[in-house]
Amino acid sequence: MKIFYHGHSVVKIETNGKTILIDPFINGNEQTDLKADDQNPDVILLTHGHNDHVGDTVEIAKRSGALVVAPFELANYMEMQGLNTHPMHIGGAYEFDFGKVKFTQAFHGSSYTTEDNQIIYTGMPAGILFMAEGKTVYHAGDTALFSDMKLIGDRHPIDLAFLPIGDNFTMGPDDAAYAAELLGAKQVVPIHYDTFPPIKQDPEKFISMLKEGQGKMMKAGDSTEL
């Protein structure tokens, strides 16, 4: 399994001959190295409906035919945009041909703002456990610290976790470091920082707060293998 980080909360996974994009916020994201027109994933996984996570999903999925997997209300809204979707919800898991997806709770909001400034409620926010090739990747989405992260880690030993550190809208570095401890993840990558002024952070400082060898710094375009 090969995993790429592309700035903000954008993650790409290549496994079982498939390409999976998580939260493909590309246009308008100065932190990413990607171009939306170049993306042709087989699958798009969405954590919640905020525009900086849904991003370019509609454009990319219409062109590539990608399956969009998302929490129920968000999946329904994506289907209304003409996309092929698979709705799920928190606590639910499903075995796809590319791997197993399970949605976890996340403490945040979830709504999509249209170009004409309508706010569409898109249900509950979520985190994502992705399991393939005997490995588990956890993308926490946007969330506050919560004690059941220990339960998530106990139930699903995590090889690689992507945790937001931006503060203001999500966990800050202190809470994210404690989250890493609760999860017991083998490796932790900081995400959701520096994209906007209110979430400016020092990722290296965050990594220094983790157990030795647990933190992994990934810049946009960097990859790792599990």
pLDDT for position 161: 98
Burial tier of 120 (Cβ tally within 10 Å: 0-12, 13-18, 19+): middle
pLDDT for position 126: 98
In percent, the amount of the chain with pLDDT more than 70 equals 100
DSSP the chain: -EEEE-STT-EEEEETTEEEEES---TT-TT----GGG---SEEE-S---HHHHTTHHHHHHHH--EEEEEHHHHHHHHHTT-EEEEE-TT-EEEETTEEEEEEE-SS--EEE-TT--EEE----EEEEEEETTEEEEE--S----TTHHHHHHHS--SEEEEE---TTS--HHHHHHHHHHHT-SEEEEES-SSSGGG---HHHHHHTSPTTTB----TT-EEE-
pLDDT for position 77: 98
**Tens-place pLDDT, residues 166-191:** 999 999 999 999 999 999 999 999 99
20 DSSP β-pair partners: 13, 43
pLDDT for position 21: 98
pLDDT for position 122: 98
Take residue 64 and report the two structure tokens written for it: 């590539």
Our CA angle for 93, 182, 194, nearest 5°, is 85
Please compute the mean of the pLDDT values over residues 83-105 and round it to a whole number: 98
The overall pTM is greater than 0.85? yes
- In whole angstroms, give the CA distance from residue 104 to residue 109: 14
Please compute the mean of the pLDDT values over residues 130-145 and round it to a whole number: 98
Cβ of 89: how many Cβ atoms within 10 Å?
Answer: 14
What residue type is 143 in one-letter code?
A: T
**Tens-place pLDDT, residues 3-40:** 999 999 999 999 999 999 999 999 999 999 999 999 99
pLDDT for position 8: 98
Residue of 84, 101, 82 lying closest to 22 (CA atoms)? 101
| Superfamily of structural domain 2-213 | Ribonuclease Z/Hydroxyacylglutathione hydrolase-like (3.60.15.10)
pLDDT for position 99: 98
What residue type is 37 in one-letter code?
A: D
Please compute the mean of the pLDDT values over residues 189-196 and round it to a whole number: 98
Please compute the mean of the pLDDT values over residues 145-155 and round it to a whole number: 98
pLDDT for position 188: 98
Take residue 202 and report the two structure tokens written for it: 């020092």
Question: What is the band of 112 on the pLDDT scale with cuts at 50, 70, 90?
Answer: very high
Residue of 110, 132, 131 lying closest to 119 (CA atoms)? 110
In percent, the amount of the chain with pLDDT more than 90 equals 100
pLDDT for position 225: 97
Mean pLDDT of the chain: 98
Any idea where the domains of the chain sit in the sequence? 2-213
**Tens-place pLDDT, residues 36-82:** 999 999 999 999 999 999 999 999 999 999 999 999 999 999 999 99
Angle, nearest 10°, between helix axes 57-64 and 72-80? 60
pLDDT for position 6: 98
